[in-house]
Chains A and B, each alone.
Chain A
Amino acid sequence: MIKQVSSEFFNSVPLDSGVLVKNWDKDHPDTVTNAMIVTATTGDFNIASVPTASNLFDDVNGVPVGSKEGYHVDSMLHTIGVTALNTTLETIKLALGTADIDDTTGSVTPRIGRPKSTDFVHLTWLGNTADGGLVAADLNDALSTAGLTLTTTKNGKGTFPLTIQGFTSIATPNVSPVSYYVFKADTETNTEGGETPAG
């Protein structure tokens, strides 16, 4: 009877919600400055890579339905979702996706049609694991696909959902929109000073 898991199981458990940052450098994963943080958030992050698949052999006579040989991933949707708190020009533009900031007037104007290359941003979700390591979901060309829905409430905080999707490029079709990273802690936390309680 298997009833217990090894203590090693807990090393890689992500703890707390993490943070959404811009311009993260995977070669310096621990370097996160306040300026990199996109927005304060509340609640859960939802990081998803969801495939759309078909089975090429399901209609072939004599082949069982659902064969692994026929399974084909047609596409994959990569998203980061969270509820954001900060209403700045940058975060409003981020939520709108295709929009233009005018610093002189302090405005953000939505735009329809094809996105500009500058609409796509490099965004990364970073989270800590129990053993002090780091896990990251890195979107190279990210664009909001859900628009802006700002909800405010009497005596409460205004929030808006943020859904960021990673996009691939025709120019680099084999480059995945997302990369997931797991970094182990460099050193063990020195907690050998745990004295036995008195009494």
Chain B
Amino acid sequence: MELRKIYNRVSVFREERNISRKELAEKIGVNFQTIGYLERGEFNPSLDLALRISEFFELPIEVIFSSKPLTLLSKELLHQKTKKGK
């Protein structure tokens, strides 16, 4: 089975909460270098790790991870605003 690239917004949500890679790594129980690899898309997390990240950020897993390239959050928010406005 060919491994697909998993896209993520871990760095976005981490910076939003003003926490370092080391702090995030300590909270979810991994080495901080793993967070770096994850953010750069050089490492695909297991389901357990993906769920731990999702639980930490208190966000649905599909908001953080995707098998397709993620759109910019600002564009998504604007799109939702426009939808609500209609």
> Are both chains from one complex?
no
**Which residues on A are within 8 Å of B, measured CB to CB?**
none
**Which residues on B are within 8 Å of A, measured CB to CB?**
none
